[in-house]
Amino acid sequence: MTENLGCLLRIQLEDISRIIFSIIHDYYTETVKTTVKTGVVVSYQSFGDLMRWNPHFHCIVLEEGIDEAGSLHHIPIKNTARITGVFRNRVIKLFVDRGLLDRSFALKILSWQHSGFSVDNSVPIPASSRKARVNLSQYIIRNPISLQKILYARSNGTVIYTMKYNEYWKENMNLFKANDFIAELTQHIPPKHKHLICYYGLYSSRTKGKAAKDGTLTKFGCNAAPKKKPDHASDPEMETVSSKASRKSWARLIQKVYEVDPLICEKCGHEMRVMAVITEPHEVRKILECLKRNHAPPFDKVVAKVS
């Protein structure tokens, strides 16, 4: 895809994501000769190997559809060439309608034998493989660069970016001046308030929330809404120590704000762990009095009052 068209893609992210979903929906409806509901996740990425400008969309597509009678249809996508043509036509029409492309230039693009548009469906995800779903999901939301692949030579201000050997570009590394590296990276910063990931159909929050309440998709493996857990916030006897994940999050936020890790011992440098959370005033007062008698911080400098 040309660089100018790639810039236009970034401006119209949500609109193009909707076009992708509409194409899949129309393809399924035409294939089974009836209206069906399906699910699509669309993720936009502007980069390729070595941070090169390469705007494209990744999609997680459910190769099934549910008709109005509640029947499930398996609909494999086979004719990608036809989908590519429809995608190109609808995207260019969108740009013309928005005044982003001149009509004469749009006709010229449509006449090109190789327009730069392509659709690939060579990566199937087995329904039973959670690992495959997780790996692909992580891949389509990855960052433009990996810190593990960056080396900085302070002596000459050069950034060395490494990667696996690329058969097309015939290289596995690239050298940047520091300013050029920053410029290459900043071109991938998305426009403000633009969603890079969109969920449609059965994958949308609205549809999943509705289905969880009424149980319409239970027979297809979607569980009903979980039972509401009792609220123990107002019952001191039911309060428990925060989970391990919550404690890590608390420590991380403290470290981010104050640049001090509260779970690292100042004397030995080993990691500490939370044994209990004490909220009773009289228990807190006893601990503070003990610290005060032993001249422990902050009582070695100031006197604290406990109310």
| Chain segment 285-294, per-residue pLDDT in tens | 888 888 888 7
Say if CB 97 and CB 8 are below 8 A apart.
no
Query: Where does the pLDDT of residue 7 fall: very low under 50, low under 70, confident under 90, or very high at 90 and above?
Result: low
Question: CB count, 10 Å around CB of 225?
Answer: 11
Say if CB 50 and CB 174 are below 8 A apart.
yes
How far the first Cα of the chain sits from its last, in Å, is 68
pLDDT, averaged across the chain: 81
Alpha-helical segments (H) within 173-293: 178-186, 205-214, 244-258, 281-293
Query: Where does the pLDDT of residue 96 fall: very low under 50, low under 70, confident under 90, or very high at 90 and above?
Result: very high
Q: What is the pLDDT of residue 307?
A: 47
Q: What is the pLDDT of residue 4?
A: 55
Q: Residue 42: in which H helix or E strand, if any? A: strand 39-47
Omega prior to 236 cis, within 30 of 0: no
Q: Across the beta sheet with 36-37, what order do the strands follow?
A: 36-37, 64-67, 72-74
Q: What is the pLDDT of residue 280?
A: 87
Q: Residue 231: in which H helix or E strand, if any? A: none
Range from 37-41, 189-193, 277-281 that averages highest in pLDDT: 37-41
Joined tokens for residue 106: 């749009």
Q: What share of the chain has pLDDT > 90, as a percent?
A: 30
C-alpha of 130 from chain center = 17
Joined tokens for residue 92: 């260019």
Specify the residue for token string 């087995």: 126
Question: CB count, 10 Å around CB of 51?
Answer: 19
What gap in Å lies between CA 270 and CA 76, rounded to an integer?
55
Query: Where does the pLDDT of residue 177 fall: very low under 50, low under 70, confident under 90, or very high at 90 and above?
Result: very high
Picking from 127, 176, 169, the residue whose alpha carbon sits closest to that of residue 153 is: 176
Query: Where does the pLDDT of residue 262 fall: very low under 50, low under 70, confident under 90, or very high at 90 and above?
Result: confident
Query: Where does the pLDDT of residue 163 fall: very low under 50, low under 70, confident under 90, or very high at 90 and above?
Result: confident
Select the more confidently predicted residue: 170 or 224: 170
**Crossing angle (nearest 10°) for helices 80-97 and 13-32:** 140
**160 burial class (0-12, 13-18, 19+ CB within 10 angstroms)?**
middle
Three-state DSSP class for 147? helix
